[in-house]
Structure formats: structure tokens, C-alpha cells
Structure 1
Amino acid sequence: MITFTPAEAAERSGFTLDTLRYYEREGILPRVARTAGGHRLYTEADLGTLGFLKCLRDTGMPIEKLRRYGELCRDESTLPDRVALLEEHAAAVQRELEALRAQQARLDAKLAWYRGEVAERQAAEISS
């Protein structure tokens, strides 16, 4: 089995070492294996979990819900609850995307107006 040091796991996951420790302490990330000396060793499965947690965090999932997701993942009987939690988050992400698209349209319209103004002024300078 391939294992990774905390520094390697942090680099590969995009989390800081402090975040990895915090996520484990808070139960967001399942407890990771340890060496005889007590040092954490992350597996490829741990990195996969971290990758998904990064997705959730980067899409705005609050820490309380990340914690809840971590709790649910420790019990196989909670699959329907996980589905519900992720559906709720996916809907929130969809709403955010729609709001961003609307804002992008406003930005594009303003840029088009400014570009038109710049072009008109440049044309006026050339013709004068």
C-alpha cells in the first residue's frame, strides 16, 4: 500500500497541514493511520476523501455540514442521509452558479458599453 506523509498529503490535496489536523480532530476526515512513532500516514483512499472534501469546501459547504458529512461517512447505514446532504449542497451550488451567470451577463453588458465608448472616442480622435 502506498502511503503519504502529512506534507505530501497537504501538497497533493491543496489543504494546509493545520487543516488536515483540524479535519481529523473534528471528525470531518476519518482518523488516518499512524506509524509506530505516532506520525500520520495518509493512503490513496485518504487523498481521495480529501479531494472530495476540497470540492465541498471550495463550493462553499459550511464547516458544520462538512462535519456532518464526516459523521455520516462513518456509518454505512447513512447513505440516504449523505444523498440528501449532497443534493442540498448541489442545489445551493446550482443557485450560486445561476446568480454568477446573471452577474456575468451584467458585467459583459457593461464591458460592451465601455468598449463601444472607447471605440467611438478613438474614431472621433482619428477623424479630427
Structure 2
Amino acid sequence: MYTISEVVALTDLTAHTLRWYERIGLMPHIDRSHTGQRRYRNRDLDWLDLVGKLRLTGMPVADMVRYAELVREGEHTYGERFDLLEATRRDVLARIAELRDTLAVLDRKIDYYAANTDADQALASERAS
């Protein structure tokens, strides 16, 4: 079992974010001690890792909450979960393609400036001699 402070240290999430996740339904299953202190388990850390990956995909929070609801509803929601994750995967692949195109433009510009900087430096060296 982990306290909220320990989870903050392990995940780099803030306590505010962890409480918000609980409030919006991303993590409604957090155990509590007899004093009301949140107690996280390894399965909660695994879930937070998945949520972090979903965030990196750009999945909207509403979709993450929907996914969490589907998980809690049980195995009969596999089809809906599949559809949600498949749509997210398509979005990620489209963003990767955009980033590859952007990287190609940057590489062309960098090559151009590198070539012209080298030529400028060579010309300056020649004039100094």
C-alpha cells in the first residue's frame, strides 16, 4: 500500500491530479485507511501508468473516463473498449505521420542552413588569409 505522497514520488503526478482523477471517475476504487487517508495498491500504479499512456496519445479526458467506466462494467464491454482504443490508435498514427512530415521539413531546413553556414565560414576564412 502506498500513500498519496509516495505515489506522487513514484509517478511524478501531483496530489491534486491524483485527487482529481478520483473525483472525475478515473480512479474511483482507491482504498482508504481507517483515518480516511488514501491507500494505493500496485494495481492502482499500473492503472496510473495506463492513464499516463492514454494522456500521451492525446485521448480526451472524457474518453479516458468512459474507458474506466467500461472496465468497471466488466467483460461484456470488450467491444466498446476495443473501438475506443482503436480510434485512439488511428489518431496516434495520424499524428505520427504529421510529425514525420514536419521532421522532414526541419531536416531540409537544417541541411540548408548547415551547408550555407559552412560556405559562409569557408568564405570568411578565405578572406582572412
Q: TM-score with structure 1 length normalisation?
A: 0.94
Gap runs ≥5 in structure 1: none
The answer to whether the 8 A contact 1:30-1:74 is kept is no
Gap runs ≥5 in structure 2: none
The answer to whether the 8 A contact 1:53-1:66 is kept is yes
Once residues 114 and 104 of structure 1 are traced to their aligned partners in structure 2, the CA distance between those partners, rounded to angstroms, is 15
Percentage identity across paired residues of the two chains? 35
Q: Which residue of 2 aligns with 1:39?
A: 37
Q: 1:18 aligns with which of 5, 16, 19?
A: 16
How many residue pairs match? The answer is 126
**Which structure has greater helix proportion?**
2
C-alpha displacement of 1:66: 1.1
Once residues 13 and 125 of structure 1 are traced to their aligned partners in structure 2, the CA distance between those partners, rounded to angstroms, is 52
Q: Greater shift after overlay, 20-29 or 48-57?
A: 20-29
Q: State the Cα RMSD in Å.
A: 1.0
Q: 2:69 aligns with which of 62, 68, 71?
A: 71
Instruction: Write out the 4+ residue segments of structure 1 that deviate beyond 2 Å after TM superposition.
Output: none
Spell out the pairing of 1:1-128 with structure 2 (5 A cutoff).
Answer: 3-76=1-74, 77-128=76-127
C-alpha displacement of 1:74: 0.6
Q: Greater shift after overlay, 76-85 or 42-51?
A: 76-85
Residue-by-residue CA offset, 1:87-106 (whole Å, 9 max, x unaligned) = 11111011111100100010
